[in-house]
């Protein structure tokens, strides 16, 4: 294959700015997918992705496009996740490309998270093609958006295609721009094989399938290959491309993007970011892998049904295969039994992993409230790392505690600036800067404890700004804070899974909110249950769940049997999702109650 | 088809719609009611059973029908089944007349169920009932005059703003009428009612429990037998028709929204009154009841009664018995059920938590 007619690109966009819709239009236009097979947002193959309108896992598709110059080009579209939590995955897909299409909503303008991804693309030395989408909206203002792109990123955007992905307007302009501006791959087909593994999935019949970008050389069926970092050797059983259907081929060559199956059964042998080469003629320069990202948010995941512990371990292993950012290790809770402490890049990542376990692996879960990682300096001078509040040592042994801070970048329309500054102050934020983006918007920069962001920061930000503010954060370092552990007692027993680390000045207020919330969430049982929040041995808030007096429907005649039985079946199902702690039944939501911040 | 001895007839009309009611009903419309009565008569004539033991006309409000409509309906029933042990009709004091009463008596109706709900004008207004306790007394007198002496009165508790004292007064007022039977219902807020739409909050479970216990105390002291969760009787005037539900007998329901159960099949008529009159899309739900369904339903209904549910009635297999016995070990220790060789029975305290008992059994069948 002639590399000068290959283009490898990603699409970068903020959630809802139309990335998946643009991908759909491109697939249609290049007849990669027949109109009748078109399923809305075809690249998003996880159910979860289509439902949430976000892209989580990478997907790589080969397209054929007959350009205006009369030549036929092979394009590889590599999808990227749009959310801030998935930065790691974005960098994976970007490393497999030479260019990126930056989709910006003509009405909303550029957003904080997009900015982060654009900088990533620039770091990867990618050619960036700005595209203004949704120009047919009444509120569209392409000129203002073009100026903002030029002001904030310093990217030439005056000739950006003005499109409507939804209505298929000017989609060809995007493809033409890709062909003109994105450099062709410059690999050498005659050099030893060098292929980047940018994703992998587990197939129960064929083992682990690696998604790869061939940088140099070629790979064909029967080749003996070596995963350089893991040292694993295998023989290629199948290889091919996706259109997005899987298409088998005999060979993949430099510049191409495709997949390879080599009967790999051990999850440990294939690592995303690794380089594949030939056993007999290996490359001497493996590709630069990916930077391992540190987990920012931790929570405990426990199977509601304790017998599912091993299933949960298998599920986490499998998810880990193409989600290297997921970290987990076994832990035990007095209240919840055996489970795992899991580390995530952020809250959305945590949500997605939980939902995938429950949906794809059908393991009902109890998740504890997320926690950040604290550095606890003991009086003896040593430092321990605490990612689970119940493991915080007794206060007498603690010298000081440091918590992670992030730099928060918020882009917001002028009219909400005041309200958002208020929010940041309430969240213990430290003001750093206020930058003018254009006539309508400002960029706010704050330093905020990550723990405050883990609480309801994002939801509050969205509700205060009616959805207009966008937000991104990056870790900057550890800062000493006045932190204490707050325990929650149900029926006078400490429930370790409900303990939280809070700022001393906020403990009283938060304790009150938590006990009230628990009172609301825990159904009445046959005895009265005191709910208490305490610091050390001192109770700082209390609320009582009264005993249930009766639980029977007054009326039940012939016509009521069906409905009544369904009602009871529902109650039974509900109980499955409850955890028995001591003699109290606690619904799953209660373990998240410590997050509630209603003021 | 097995012989069915219990018939329910649903009259889907009311003079006006009460704020809490979610039964199948609509405002009384004479022409539509004509058609419904016509269809009911066809259905009655189609029932296989040539003799039945109980018949219950409920609603909606059967007494909302016109004299002529009531006559057509009762005539057909009396023709089809000349002897019915217990023939009950639900009435609302608001739309009852002496003529209607004597007509019911003439055709053989021998039991009435009257909606009283409360005796305070204040509370009746809140729940949008348009009658007074004076009306109740008047209609009761007519019934006795016409020879219908078996009368059950419905009262409600847990009404918005209702105090325990008010509820006690209502009970004492009704007791002055010397009823043979009383049914006491806690208000439940259903989504498809005016209360549901207004997002009226149900009263606190604590207060509801106190009212219920107060009712049990008051009525037991007055000589009534508390024979089912919500039912009380003096001199053994049990509702035979309702007992058939609790004992899981077969029954056939006629009219829109009415349910029937014959052996292992249960079906429910369409709730759409027009579809019903046109005989279109008549069956809304038709279920084959599994062995599990039947066991659970027999217990769900049977344990409502202050009577033994025999193992024999539940199932002949010992497996089921073992499962139920094992599931209820703790429940028995709590004093909620009594298990013995003959069968099982809920205790007074157990009947307060019947839902928990049934859910416990359901969980055991899941394992």
In three-state form (DSSP H/G/I as H, E/B as E, the rest C), the secondary structure along A440-501 is CEEEEEEEEEHHHHHHHHHHHHHHHCCCCCEEEEEEEEEEEECEEEEEEEECCEECHHHCEE
Chain A hits for B358, Cβ within 8 Å: 568
Which domains, ranges and CATH numbers included, belong to chain B?
6-246 (3.20.20.70), 290-367 (1.10.10.920)
Q: Which of A318, A301, A308, A326 is nearest to A362 (CA)?
A: A308
Q: Where are the alpha helices (DSSP H) in chain B?
A: 30-46, 67-80, 98-107, 121-126, 133-145, 164-175, 194-197, 205-221, 240-246, 273-278, 291-302, 311-314, 318-327, 329-333, 348-352, 354-366
- A538-545 vs A578-581, strand pairing mode: unpaired
Closest Cβ opposite residue B251 in set A524, A558, A565: A558
Indicate if the pLDDT at residue A41 is higher than 60: no
**A144, A440 Cβ separation under 8 angstroms:** yes
Closest Cβ opposite residue A552 in set B229, B244, B366: B229
d(CA B128, CA B198): 14
Which residue does chain A place closest to B367, by CA atoms? A576
End-to-end CA gap in chain A: 63
Chain A hits for B205, Cβ within 8 Å: 524, 546, 548-550
- B26-27 vs B111-117, strand pairing mode: unpaired
Residue B165 class from Cβ within 10 Å (0-12 exposed, 13-18 middle, 19+ buried)? exposed
**B9, B40 Cβ separation under 8 angstroms:** yes
Which of B159, B354, B363, B364 to probe the A interface (max A CBs under 10 A)?
B354
Q: What is the mean predicted confidence (pLDDT) over A99-105?
A: 92
Which of A528, A557, A570 to probe the B interface (max B CBs under 10 A)?
A557
pLDDT in tens, A542-558: 999 999 989 888 888 98
The partner residues of A530 in beta bridges, in order of sequence, read A544
CA distance A409 to chain B (A): 42
* CB atoms A524 and B352 under 8 Å: no
CA dihedral B242, B244, B248, B249 (to 10 degrees): -150
Tally Cβ neighbours within 10 Å of residue A169.
17
d(CA A224, CA B140): 97
Q: What pLDDT sits at residue A15? A: 67
* CB atoms B8 and A548 under 8 Å: no
3-class secondary-structure state, position B281: coil
Q: How confident is the model at residue B121 (pLDDT cuts 50, 70, 90)?
A: very high
Q: How confident is the model at residue A21 (pLDDT cuts 50, 70, 90)?
A: confident
pLDDT in tens, A378-413: 999 999 999 889 889 988 999 999 999 999 888 888
Residue A555 class from Cβ within 10 Å (0-12 exposed, 13-18 middle, 19+ buried)? middle
Indicate if the pLDDT at residue A86 is higher than 70: no
Tokens of A28: 């249609």
Task: Compute CA distances A229 → A223, A259, A318, whole Å.
Answer: 18, 19, 20
- Please enumerate in sequence order all residues whose Cβ is within 8 A of that of A522, keeping only pairs 6 or more positions apart, or say none: A490, A529, A531, A545, A584, A585, A586, A587, A590
Q: What pLDDT sits at residue A55? A: 45
- B309-310 vs B283-288, strand pairing mode: unpaired
Q: How confident is the model at residue A599 (pLDDT cuts 50, 70, 90)?
A: very low
- Please enumerate in sequence order all residues whose Cβ is within 8 A of that of A456, keeping only pairs 6 or more positions apart, or say none: A595, A596, A597
Write down the mean pLDDT value for chain A.
Answer: 85
Helices A19-29 and A171-181 pack at an angle, to 10 degrees, of: 90
Q: What pLDDT sits at residue A313? A: 94
Residue B22 class from Cβ within 10 Å (0-12 exposed, 13-18 middle, 19+ buried)? middle
Q: Which of B264, B167, B288 is nearest to B219 (CA)?
A: B167
CA distance A555 to chain B (A): 7
Closest Cβ opposite residue B285 in set A556, A562, A571: A562
Residue A175 class from Cβ within 10 Å (0-12 exposed, 13-18 middle, 19+ buried)? buried
Q: What pLDDT sits at residue A53? A: 46
Chain A hits for B188, Cβ within 8 Å: 553-555
Q: What is the mean predicted confidence (pLDDT) over A147-163?
A: 87
pLDDT in tens, B242-299: 999 999 999 999 999 999 999 999 999 999 999 999 988 899 999 999 999 999 999 9
The conformation of residue A195, written as its DSSP 8-state character, comes to E
* CB atoms A556 and B208 under 8 Å: no
Which of B212, B216, B259 to probe the A interface (max A CBs under 10 A)?
B259
Q: What pLDDT sits at residue B347? A: 95
User: Among A198-207, B86-95, B348-357, whose mean pLDDT is lowest?
Assistant: A198-207
Indicate if the pLDDT at residue A34 is higher than 70: no
């Amino acid at each position: 294959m002639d590399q000068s007619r290959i283009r490898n690109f990603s699409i970068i966009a903020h959630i809802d700015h139309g990335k998946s819709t643009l991908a759909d239009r491109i697939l249609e236009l290049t007849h990669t997918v027949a109109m009748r097979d078109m399923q809305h947002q075809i690249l998003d193959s996880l159910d979860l992705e289509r439902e949430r309108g976000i892209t989580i896992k990478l997907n790589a598709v080969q397209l054929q496009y007959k350009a205006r110059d009369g030549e036929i080009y092979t394009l590889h579209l590599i999808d990227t996740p749009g959310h801030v939590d998935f930065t790691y995955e974005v960098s994976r897909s970007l490393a497999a490309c030479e260019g990126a299409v930056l989709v910006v909503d003509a009405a909303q303008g550029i957003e904080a998270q997009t900015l982060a991804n654009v900088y990533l693309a620039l770091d990867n030395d990618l050619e960036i093609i700005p595209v203004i989408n949704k120009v047919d909206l009444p509120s569209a203002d392409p000129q203002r958006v073009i100026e903002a792109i030029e002001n904030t990123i310093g990217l030439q955007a005056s000739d950006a295609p003005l499109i409507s992905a939804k209505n298929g307007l000017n989609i060809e302009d995007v493809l033409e721009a890709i062909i003109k501006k994105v450099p062709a791959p410059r690999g050498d087909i005659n050099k030893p094989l060098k292929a980047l593994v940018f994703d992998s999935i587990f197939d129960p019949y064929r083992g682990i399938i690696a998604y790869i970008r061939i940088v140099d050389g070629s790979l064909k069926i029967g080749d003996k290959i070596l995963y350089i970092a893991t040292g694993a050797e295998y023989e290629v059983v199948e290889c091919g491309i996706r259109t997005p259907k899987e298409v088998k081929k005999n060979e993949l060559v430099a510049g191409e993007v495709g997949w390879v199956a080599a009967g790999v059964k051990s999850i440990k042998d294939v690592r995303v970011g690794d380089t594949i080469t030939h056993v007999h003629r290996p490359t001497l320069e493996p590709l630069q892998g990916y930077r391992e990202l540190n987990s920012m948010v931790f929570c405990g995941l426990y199977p509601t049904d304790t017998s599912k512990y091993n299933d949960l371990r298998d599920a986490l292993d499998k998810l880990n295969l193409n989600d290297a950012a997921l970290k987990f290790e076994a832990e035990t809770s007095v209240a919840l039994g055996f489970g795992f402490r899991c580390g995530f890049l952020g809250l959305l990542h945590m949500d997605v992993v939980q939902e995938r376990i429950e949906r794809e692996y059908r393991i009902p879960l109890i998740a504890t409230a997320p926690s950040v990682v604290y550095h606890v300096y003991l009086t003896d001078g040593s430092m321990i790392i605490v990612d689970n509040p119940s493991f915080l040592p007794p206060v007498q042994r603690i010298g000081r505690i440091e918590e992670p801070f992030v730099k928060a970048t918020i882009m917001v329309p002028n009219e909400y600036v005041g309200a958002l500054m208020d929010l940041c102050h309430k969240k213990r934020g430290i003001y750093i800067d206020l930058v003018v983006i254009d006539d309508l918007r400002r960029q706010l920069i704050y330093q905020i404890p990550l723990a405050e962001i883990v609480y309801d920061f994002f939801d509050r930000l969205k509700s205060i700004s009616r959805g207009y503010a966008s937000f991104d954060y990056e870790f900057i370092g550890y800062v000493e804070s006045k932190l204490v552990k707050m325990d929650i007692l149900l029926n006078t027993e400490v429930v370790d899974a409900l303990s939280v680390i809070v700022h001393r000045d906020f403990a009283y207020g938060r304790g009150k909110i938590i006990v009230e919330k628990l009172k609301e969430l825990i159904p009445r049982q046959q005895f009265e249950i005191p709910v208490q929040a305490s610091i050390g041995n001192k109770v700082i808030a209390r609320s009582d769940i009264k005993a249930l007096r009766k639980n029977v429907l007054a009326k039940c005649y012939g016509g009521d049997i069906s409905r009544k039985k369904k009602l009871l079946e529902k109650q039974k199902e509900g109980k499955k999702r409850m955890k028995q702690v001591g003699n109290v039944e606690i619904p799953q939501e209660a373990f998240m109650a410590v997050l509630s911040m209603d003021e | 088809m097995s012989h069915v001895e219990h018939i329910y007839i649903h009259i889907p009309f009311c003079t006006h719609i009460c704020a809490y009611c979610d039964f199948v009903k609509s405002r009384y419309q004479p022409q539509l009611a004509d058609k419904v009565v016509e269809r009911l008569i066809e259905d009655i004539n189609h029932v296989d059973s040539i003799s039945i033991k109980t018949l219950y006309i409920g609603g909606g409000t059967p007494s909302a029908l016109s004299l002529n409509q009531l006559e057509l309906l009762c005539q057909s029933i009396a023709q089809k089944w000349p002897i019915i042990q217990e023939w009950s009709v639900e009435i609302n004091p608001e739309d009852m007349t002496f003529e209607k009463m004597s007509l019911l008596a003439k055709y053989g109706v021998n039991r009435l169920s009257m909606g009283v709900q409360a005796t305070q004008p204040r509370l009746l207004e809140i729940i949008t009932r348009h009658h007074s306790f004076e009306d109740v007394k008047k209609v009761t007198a007519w019934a006795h005059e016409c020879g219908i002496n078996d009368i059950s009165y419905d009262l409600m508790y847990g009404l918005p703003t209702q105090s325990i004292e008010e509820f006690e007064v209502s009970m004492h007022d009704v007791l002055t009428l010397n009823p043979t039977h009383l049914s006491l219902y806690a208000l439940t807020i259903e989504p498809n009612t005016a209360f549901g739409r207004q997002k009226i909050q149900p009263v606190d479970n604590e207060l509801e429990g106190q009212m219920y216990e107060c009712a049990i105390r008051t009525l037991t002291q007055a000589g009534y037998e508390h024979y089912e969760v919500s039912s009380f009787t003096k001199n053994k005037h049990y509702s035979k028709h309702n007992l058939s539900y609790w004992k899981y007998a077969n029954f056939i329901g006629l009219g829109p929204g009415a349910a029937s159960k014959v052996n292992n099949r249960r079906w429910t008529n369409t709730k759409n009154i027009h579809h019903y009159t046109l005989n279109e899309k008549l069956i809304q739900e038709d279920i084959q009841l599994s062995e599990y369904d039947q066991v659970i339903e027999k217990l769900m209904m049977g344990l409502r009664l202050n009577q033994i549910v025999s193992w024999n009635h539940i199932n002949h297999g010992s497996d089921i018995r073992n499962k139920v016995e094992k599931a209820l070990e703790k429940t028995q220790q709590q004093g909620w059920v009594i298990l013995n060789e003959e069968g099982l029975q809920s205790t007074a305290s157990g009947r307060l938590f019947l839902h928990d008992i049934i859910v416990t059994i359901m969980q055991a069948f899941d394992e």
